[in-house]
Structures are given as structure tokens and as C-alpha cells.
Structure 1
Amino acid sequence: MTTTAPAVRRINPTSWNAAFGYDQAQLRPAPARVLTLAGQGPVDEHGALVHEGDVTAQLALAMANVETVLARGGMDLGDVLKLTVYAVDVDAVLAGYGAVTERLAAFGATPPATLLGVTRLAIPGMAVEIDVVAAR
């Protein structure tokens, strides 16, 4: 397990964002490799939706899928530069957001993050989708 490199300068002019487990900005040295992930949702290895109706479980599975893709690219959550969560129900995602922050905290990661409310995602019943940009 790796953690965010000490060369990262965390920029937080205020502190309210700490409760949500992200930095407002991060200044990093130029990476050698950049990995961009397509949106990862709460689906199994066959692309079938899992945990319909349970937003927290969907968040946890989407994060697990992000971790799987990162690992295949030789990276982990400590390498995430930017995280975006797309949500059909923003309030439900905020209520279950610990499923995201707990996984990030295990790597000492507090990447800048954006939560966007959307009317629909790719698969009916999908409540969340997460995409990231990572670099090492």
C-alpha cells in the first residue's frame, strides 16, 4: 500500500472540506504516468447492476471497482488526483459518503472531489458512478 507522496502540497484556504475527506486543491510535481478511468458503477464483473436501492452499498462497490482498475494500472487510491461522483440522489450519497472517505483514508488520500447531481445514469437503478484521474 502506498500513500500520497510527501511532495504533494495540500491547498485548503478553509477547513470545512476536511469533514468530507477532500482537499480543495493539491499541487503535485509532474507525474511520470497518468491514468484516466471511465466512470465506475456498482456493477459485477459481467456489467450487471448490484445493490439496487442501496446507495451506500452502491458507493462501496463503485469504489471497489475504481480500486480494481487502478490496481490493473499499477496504482492505488493514494495516486488519485481528482475524484468525481455522479449521483441520482445527492442527499442519499452524502448520507453514505463514508463508503468513499473510509477507502480513501486507508491510503491517506484526500483528493479534490466533485459531487454532481444527475437525472439518470447509464443503467436503470444505478444511483452512483465514480470517475477518477490518477497519476504516479
Structure 2
Amino acid sequence: MEIKTINPWKWQDQRNYVQAVEVKQVNGTLYCAGQTAINAEGLSSDADMKTQLTQAIQNLEQLIITSGYECKNIVRLNVYHTDFAAFFESFHLLQDWVIKHGIKQATTVLEVKSLFETLKVELEATVVM
């Protein structure tokens, strides 16, 4: 597998994402449903944004590993949240996780009116092998 990141500029480097990712000779692609702060029993969290973001990251990582893929091979990460200020107060958690795994992903971050039940953040990833 060949992964090439494309950045016509440098400013995105401080935000831990890339403008585009080209992947050649892929052996597999994992399209992950949005991962949220839903526990193993299927109960949606009503905790604060920081707690929910932590759980969503853990759930995404568990899904990727259980599927036989590696977090470092995330090439696309979409982030949906319901509160701009609260999300960006906790954004460092997501950035730290991206740095920890050496992920170089194209990212879109969107504030939405609401998510399922009491959820505040959702992470949707595409991973290659």
C-alpha cells in the first residue's frame, strides 16, 4: 500500500490533518459508521463533551483494531459535534490521539443541530490496509 499526503499549504500542519490523501495498492478499506459515546450495553451518554469525545475515540479505536486495521491508517475522519465552544475546549484530546497514532487524515469538522438521543460528538472514519 502506498499513502501520499497532499498539502499545497503549511497551515494545516498545526491542526494535525492534511488536505488530501492518495492511497494506491490498497488491500482493504474499512468504512466506519459514526462512533459516539454509546457504551457496550448500547446506552447513550448524557455526559459532557470532554467525556463523550473520550468515549467516542475509544469506541472508534476499538472498532478499528477489532476489524484488523490500524489507527495510523485512517485516511478520512469526519467529526460532527453539537456545540462549537465545548468541542474546541476538548479538541486537544482528538489531536493528542491523532499524534499518538501518527495519523495523517483528511478531516471535516461540522457543528450539527443534534445527534442521536443525548449524544454530543460523532467520529466517522475511513481506514485502509
Question: Which TM-score applies when normalising by structure 1?
Answer: 0.87
Distance 2:103 2:25 in 1: 18
Q: Which residue is equivalent to 1:68?
A: 62
The runs of 5 or more residues in structure 2 that have no matched partner are none
Question: Are 1:127 and 2:120 an aligned pair?
Answer: yes
Instruction: Specify which of 71, 81, 100 is matched with residue 75 of structure 2.
Output: 81
Paired residues in the alignment total 129
Alignment of 1:102-113 (within 5 A): 102-113=96-107
Distance 2:44 2:96 in 1: 23
* Between structures 1 and 2, the one with greater strand share: 2
Question: Which TM-score applies when normalising by structure 2?
Answer: 0.91
Q: Displacement, 1:93?
A: 1.4
Moved over 3 A (4+): none
* Between structures 1 and 2, the one with greater helix share: 2
Distance 2:120 2:70 in 1: 24
RMSD: 1.5
Q: Which residue is equivalent to 1:9?
A: 4
Q: Which residue is equivalent to 2:19?
A: 24
Q: Residue 51 of structure 1 contacts residue 57 of structure 1 at CA under 8 Å; is this kept in 2?
A: no
Q: Name the % identity.
A: 24
